[in-house]
Structure 1
Amino acid sequence: MPSPAPAPSRTQQPPSSPPGPPEVLLSQPTRLTVLDDEIERLGELVPCRSYDPEVFFAESPADVEYAKSLCQTCPLREACLAGAKDRREPWGVWGGELFVQGVVVPRKRPRGRPRKNPVVA
């Protein structure tokens, strides 16, 4: 009589790791982290680091135009603008452009509406 076949061995498998992003995605820098690294590297050469941040979120049209002019000399202007468009920044001056409700607008309008009839002085 032949001997019975040995029972298949049951080896313990290591517990599976929780689902998450693959390691490859974690090692690739995002556009935002690259931009942050460049801003840190350039320091005071970037206007948003050397001027008061409130300038880039100003309310008056003249101050907004001033902030836009500061961005013209920035070496990271294009990357800043592309990042702001990707993030749909709600407001402020980014990359030399004004964002209002996530959309680039050419200029900030002053508060109120213009008069329909000229005022007689």
Structure 2
Amino acid sequence: MTTSVLEPTLDELLPCRLNDAELWFAESPSDVESAKALCKECPVQEMCLAGALERREPWGVWGGELFLAGVVIPRKRPRGRPRKDATVTAA
């Protein structure tokens, strides 16, 4: 009698299928960076990114890149106002 090893399907290898889908559309910059890191190990990362660029995805992490309004942006800014500089130059 031979034993067979069941190989996982492609869907079972994709980080976006194994983790909470909201991670790829997170508000938190650290969660967005986590999603981008998971994408870097994905076997379909390049195809995912190419498809997102073609579709001009409005937002979220696709193929390891963050999209906003259909374009790739380097990082997500935290909510709220930017911090004021600690030093103010006199005029």
**Structure-1-length-normalised TM-score:** 0.61
Give me the whole-angstrom Cα distance separating, in 2, the residues matched to 1:101 and 1:114.
25
Cα distance in 2 for partners of 1:67, 1:100 equals: 15
Asked whether 1:49 is paired with 2:49, we answer: no
Segments of 5+ residues of structure 1 without an aligned counterpart are: 1-40
Provide the alpha-carbon RMSD of the alignment: 1.2
CA distances 1:5-61 after superposition (whole Å, capped 9, x unpaired): xxxxxxxxxxxxxxxxxxxxxxxxxxxxxxxxxxxx501101111111000000011
| Gapped regions of structure 2 (runs ≥ 5) | 1-8
For 2:37 and 2:85, the matched residues in 1 are separated by 32
Question: Which of 56, 59, 84 pairs up with 1:115?
Answer: 84
Which is bigger in relative contact order (C-alpha 8 A, separation at least 6)? 2
The count of corresponding residues between Structure 1 and Structure 2 is 78
SS of the residue 2:72 aligns to: strand
Structure with larger Rg: 1
Q: 1:69 is matched with which residue: 20, 33, 37?
A: 37
Sequence identity (%): 64
Is 1:92 matched with 2:60?
yes
Structure 1: which 4+ aligned runs deviate by more than 2 Å? none
Distance 1:65 1:44 in 2: 22
CA distance in 2, matches of 1:116, 1:51: 38
